[in-house]
Structure 1
Amino acid sequence: MTYDAVVARKGQLQAVTGLPEAAFAHLHTVFAAVVEHARRHYTLQGTVRQRALRALPRDSAFAATEDLLLFVLSYLKSNPLQAVHAASFGLSQPQANAWLHRSLPWLREALARLGELPARADQALPAVLARHPRVLLDATERPVPRSTDADTQRAHYSGKKKTHGEE
């Protein structure tokens, strides 16, 4: 699967990555700069190069940074088994694993440069609410373990034994 093949089919880029073509292009400009800097100054194993590369090697599994961004975003969107994802990009499972571990930090850095990373600290919420008139919150319910102490349990537990959503 390549970027050119996916973008040639109308609507397929958004189906595969979750991003429309314009948003993908905007993210790609920053992602490509992050990848180029990383590839020039670090080896693919993450160690610092003794001297920076003048030109990037073209022996990569991905001919273009668009293909690499497509690889990472499609993995994050659909969360397939690495063997399945590797097969769709013409890689082996170990190669796919290595490229994911290599490129996920690059994507994170690109999103950070664009200011698109989610806030993880609740102290940042007032600043986000001040900047944006409309905010969507995403949360996951998690069960809270009950206390083993009988008095505490009686004070804080309603007596219902079923969790939300069970019959």
Structure 2
Amino acid sequence: MLNIERALKQDRLLRALTGLNRKAFQSLLFAFTQVYEQTLTDKPRQRSVGGGRKARLRNAEDKLFYILFYFKCYPTFDLASILFDIDRSQAHHWTHRLQPILEAALGEKKALPERQINCVQTFIERFPGVERVIMDGTERPVQRPTDSEKQKLNYSGKKKRHTSQHLAAVNQNKQVLVLSQAREGKLHDKKFRIGRKVDRKYTRGDTN
């Protein structure tokens, strides 16, 4: 089982597991906790406090660590269940429950990447301080689909496994500015565009 407390105390380890250092993690935790507590008021408790099995993800800090770890490392639900000492169904439940909470927290901090940029002018208006951006495809492993056609579409010859693919636009500070919707792993990133008029490499001032 992962020792969350140990990871939170070591900056290098926390960055390796979640992609954030301690300062960034604590900053995001404040917004994440607020959004999570709002969801609790929308749904009344089904049992009294202290009832049921003792929670493994005990507080908002543990829950934020879990969902960040999931998106940083993309474990299968079986592996996540072992690492966090929970049932596979719970790993599935927490991932889908915490994802919109994380997205809302990142949105409040204006840290979410854009999903679509239609032209260079739109990019300049949205990111006025960015002088250079590099676009590239990134793949993450997914469980093998049961449908044979989906297996073919999601099989990546480059990774030799089934994947989903995103196209990301990153600035000189390695900040993801634009992130596309997931596409099938078979699709080559040269055919995968976020916007029709955004080139793979773009320098401010060059709009041709």
Query: TM-score w.r.t. structure 2 length?
Result: 0.56
- Are the equivalent residues in 2 in contact too, given 1:31–1:110 (CA < 8 A)? yes
Give the greater-gyration-radius structure (CA).
1
Which residue in 1 is equivalent to 2:30? 29
Displacement of 1:12 in angstroms is: 1.0
After alignment, is 8-17 or 67-76 more displaced? 8-17
- Are the equivalent residues in 2 in contact too, given 1:82–1:93 (CA < 8 A)? yes
SS in 2 for 1:28: helix
Displacement of 1:57 in angstroms is: 5.1
Q: 1:133 aligns with which of 130, 133, 143?
A: 130
Q: Distance in 1 between matches of 2:49 and 2:109?
A: 27
**Which one has the bigger strand percentage?**
2
- Are the equivalent residues in 1 in contact too, given 2:11–2:21 (CA < 8 A)? no
Asked whether 1:92 is paired with 2:93, we answer no
**Which one has the bigger helix percentage?**
1
Letter in 2 for 1:83: D
SS in 1 for 2:32: helix
Which residue in 2 is equivalent to 1:117? 112
For structure 1, the residue ranges without an aligned partner over 5 or more in a row are 43-48, 145-167
- Are the equivalent residues in 2 in contact too, given 1:119–1:125 (CA < 8 A)? no
SS in 2 for 1:117: coil
Asked whether 1:62 is paired with 2:57, we answer yes
- In structure 2, do the counterparts of structure 1 residues 2 and 64 end up closer, same or farther at CA, with 3 Å as the change threshold? farther
Displacement of 1:72 in angstroms is: 0.3
Q: Distance in 2 between matches of 1:11 and 1:60?
A: 27
Displacement of 1:142 in angstroms is: 4.3
List, as ranges, runs of 4+ consecutive aligned residues in structure 1 with deviation greater than 3 Å: 56-61, 133-139
Query: TM-score w.r.t. structure 1 length?
Result: 0.69
Displacement of 1:11 in angstroms is: 1.7
Q: Distance in 2 between matches of 1:128 and 1:57?
A: 46
After alignment, is 77-86 or 116-125 more displaced? 116-125
Letter in 1 for 2:12: G
SS in 2 for 1:110: helix
Letter in 2 for 1:128: R
- Are the equivalent residues in 2 in contact too, given 1:129–1:135 (CA < 8 A)? no
Q: Could you report, residue by residue, the CA deviation over 1:17-50 in whole angstroms, capped at 9, with x for unpaired residues? A: 01111001111110010001111223xxxxxx4x
Q: Distance in 2 between matches of 1:134 and 1:28?
A: 30
SS in 1 for 2:133: coil
Q: Could you report, residue by residue, the CA deviation over 1:60-96 in whole angstroms, capped at 9, with x for unpaired residues? A: 4421111001100011011111110111111011000
Greater length-normalized contact order (CA 8 Å, ≥ 6 residues apart): 1
SS in 2 for 1:103: helix
Which residue in 1 is equivalent to 2:180? none
Percent pairwise identity: 23
